[in-house]
Amino acid sequence: MPKRVLIVEDEARIAHWVSTYFEREGYESLIAGDGLAGLRKAETEQLDLIVLDIMLPKLNGIEVCRRIRRDSEIPIIMLTAKDKESDKILGLDAGADDYVVKPFSPNELLARARAILRRADGLTQELLTGGDIELDVSARRCTVRGEHVELTETQFSILAALMRRHDQVLSRQQLLDAAGIDGAEVFDRTIDAHIRRLRLLIEADPASPRHIRTLYGAGYTFRP
């Protein structure tokens, strides 16, 4: 069952952007455009997570959060404005689990969401193995030839995407999407650079990589 996330945000562009990233990660998403609509959906829909903006028409995010908390322990991430330090405290006091400061990157929000959901449902685990490489997706942990290797969130997402569909070719665009990198500002080279760094981290001989292969003109593939 996909996780369901409710995004309560009146700025349609941001709501849509956030929803797109969650859906790319396999979530189902719902959007509410004001505080009252958000509260109503929180009460009537089956949800796993709520992303809640503070500045909302009709009912502000703090109040929405407070009312949801009267009878629900559902994980809530608040979106706060950069210059409003007090909002973070008010949000946490109202019962939010975490907050993300605007402007935020999709990767940051998704990482917070994953961490919170992991805490919320305890033991669900996704383990990917490919030859001498092991990825514990839920713990965001990478082990290569028995040794722990520190990967950035982007590197981890790219490697996980390749390993989930090993022996298939993934295009640079598919990898950008998997990594939550916004296509508008980047070039194919961005992925090439991430792959280069990944190979240095996981390949026994990065100069002639065994796992992450380049298919010229097509993209990359993972060989276990």
Query: Among 4, 28, 41, 55, which residue interacts with Ca ion (rule: CB under 5 A)?
Result: 55
Q: Which is nearer to Ca ion, 53 or 87 (CB)?
A: 53
CB of 40 to Ca ion, least distance (A): 18
Nearer to Ca ion, 36 or 149 (CB): 36
Burial bucket for residue 194 (CB in 10 Å: 0-12, 13-18, 19+)? buried
Region near Ca ion per CB under 5 A, out of 36-44, 52-60, 81-89, 151-159? 52-60
Residues 4-23 within binding reach of Ca ion (CB under 5 A): 10
Of 90 and 178, the one with the shorter C-beta distance to Ca ion is: 90
Q: By C-beta, is 12 or 89 nearer to Ca ion? A: 12
DSSP for 79-112? EEETT-HHHHHHHHHTT-SEEEEES--HHHHHHH
Residue 65 corresponds to which tokens in the numbers above?
A: 């959060």
Per DSSP, the three-state class of 34 is: coil
Strand partners, 42: none
Which residues lie near Ca ion (CB under 5 A)? 10, 53, 55
